[in-house]
Structure 1
Amino acid sequence: MRSAIKIYILIGLVFVNIVLYDAIFGYFNRKQFSLYFLNVGQGDSELIQTRRAAVLVDAGPNQKAATNLDAIMPAYRRTIDVAMITHPNADHMAGLLDILKRYRVRVLMMNGVADISATYDAVMKAVHMNNIPIVYARAGERVSFENVSLDVLWPQLDLPIPAQLSSNKANDTAIVSLVSYRSFKALLTSDVSQSVEQKLLSVLSDIDILKVAHHGSKYSTSDALLEKIRPSYAIISVGRNTYGHPTQDVLARLQEIGSSILRTDMNGTIQAVIEKGKLVVHGALP
C-alpha cells in the first residue's frame, strides 16, 4: 500500500513539474502574437493568441476546432477570453459545443441573429448553462488586448436584436473584423457577399492577410475589394464540399492581384506570426 501511495505521489509531482515548466518557460517561448486559421473542414475558425490572451473567431462545424485548440494552446491554459460567433450558421458555431466542454469562455460576441435549428438551440442552451455573458457586436466596437485590437467593421448599428433571417441573408449580417498588431493587419470577412464588401471599401486600406469570405464563393471577394486592400496572403478556410468552393473565379482574382494563396484543405491549420518584425505564414500545423 505504501509503495502504491509513493508511486501516486511521484506521478503527481512529475505532473506538477511539467505544468510549472510549461507555465514558466512556455510563457517566454510563446510568440507575442499568433493568428491561426484552424483546419476544421468546410467551416470557419480562427484563433488569435498572445502570451496572456486567447480570442476565438468562429468555432467551425464540429469537434475539430476543439482538437486544434488542444494542440495549440498550452496545457494549463483552458480559458478563451472572447469567443466571437460571426453568424449562426452551423459551419461557424456548431463546434462551440465541444469547446465549451473543454474550455472556459469568458465572453461570447454574436451578431444577434437567431437561427431556427437544433444546432443553434443546443449551442445557446450550453452558453446559458455556462453563464457566459453575450455581447452583440456592431460596427465601431473594439476588443483590445496586449497591443492587439479586433475592430468590428460590420454589421451596422441598425440591425435589430434578435433577428431571424434566411441563411443567405444571415450571411450578410455576419461580423466582419479587422485584426491589428503593430503594423500587421488581417481582415476576417466571415461569409459576407460582395454587396457588403462594397459598403466597407471606404474604411479599408492595404492589409497583410485576407480571410477569404464564404470559403471562396464566387459571390464574395470582388475585384473592387482586392484592388482596395491588396492582401499579401489570402487564406481560404474550406473542406470537402458540393458547392465548388473555392471557385475558379475567386482563385483567378486572387492570383491576378498577386496574393499568396493558402487553403486549410491543402495546407492544414495555418499560422501567421511576426518574427523579427516580419510576417511569416506557414501551414501543416496540427
Structure 2
Amino acid sequence: SNIESIYHATEAAKTLTNCKLSVEDYRSTISSTIQSDKSTTAEIYYAVCSSVNLGLNIVESTIEKRLNTLAKTDDSILSQGYALLTGAQLSPAIAKYYADTINDLVQQADELDGRILQYEGGISTTAFIFDAFYEVSEKASSSIKIDPKQLIKFANYFSTKRHVATLRSAYYLTKAFKHLSDNKNSIPIVVTRASPSEVNLQNPSVLVSVTNLFGQTVGEMTVTADSAKRNEDGVVVISKQKLTPKSSDFTIYELPFYDKKIPRGFYTIHLTLTPSTNGKFIGLTDHTIDVKV
C-alpha cells in the first residue's frame, strides 16, 4: 500500500545521513490513513511510525480509538501484533496497556509436542509477534510477561528455523534471537551435540555445545550428566558425572563416554547446567543428547 511505501521510505531515511524527506509530501496520506475507517491495523502502524520518523504530531487518543475499533473487527494475531508495535510508538502508559495483553496473546499460540510454541502463519508471523512483545515491553519499561517455560518453547521453535525463505522472516527471526540473547532479558540455553553421534575407540568422548541462540558463549557452566541410559533396557552407565570445559570461551564441554565395558546400543544422556555467573538463564535442565556405542 501507499502508506507502507511511505513507512519504508521514512525508515530508510532515518538510517541514512543527509537524507531528508519532505514532510509535506506525505502529511496528507499519513493523516487520511489514520482517520480512515478502512485502514487496517498494519496501516495504522505504518502511519504512526512514519509520523514519528518525520516528526509529525501524533494525537494519541485518536490512535487509541482507531486501534480499539479495529480490535473489534479484526482479532487476528497479526492485527494484534501490529497493535502492540503501534503501542510501542506511543506513550509509556499506552505501551503498558498493550504490554499487559502479552500473556493473552501467548495463550493463542499453538503448542506442538509439548515443547514448541508457534503461531499460525509459521516463522514469519511467530517471530513478528515475538518481536512485538519485546518492543512494547521495552517502551513500557516493564519486564516481558511470558512464563519461562513458554519462553523456552518459543526459543525451541526459533532454534529449528535457521533457514528461512523470506527477508521478512530472516529480519524478525534475527530480532527474536537478539531479544533471547540479550543479557537484560531471560536467556534460553541451547545445548547440542558437537561430536559425531557414534562413540567408539576413535571418538571416545561426547562433545556438547552450550551457547545462546546466536551460538555465543553464556559464560562458564557446570555441566553435569545426570545419567546416561541405554534406550532398549534403561541400563544406566553414567551417573552424576561432570563434563570438562574444552574451549576457553566455555562453549564446548567434554564427556568421556567410550569404555570397553559399556554395552553396544543407543543411549540418551540427560544433562543439567549450573551457571557460574549471575544471569537470567532459563532452560538449564531437561537437556538430552543421543549417542550410539
TM bucket (normalised to shorter chain) is: under 0.3
More strand by share: 1
TM-score (norm 2): 0.25
TM-score (norm 1): 0.26
Q: Higher RCO, 1 or 2 (CA under 8 Å, sep at least 6)? A: 1
More helix by share: 2
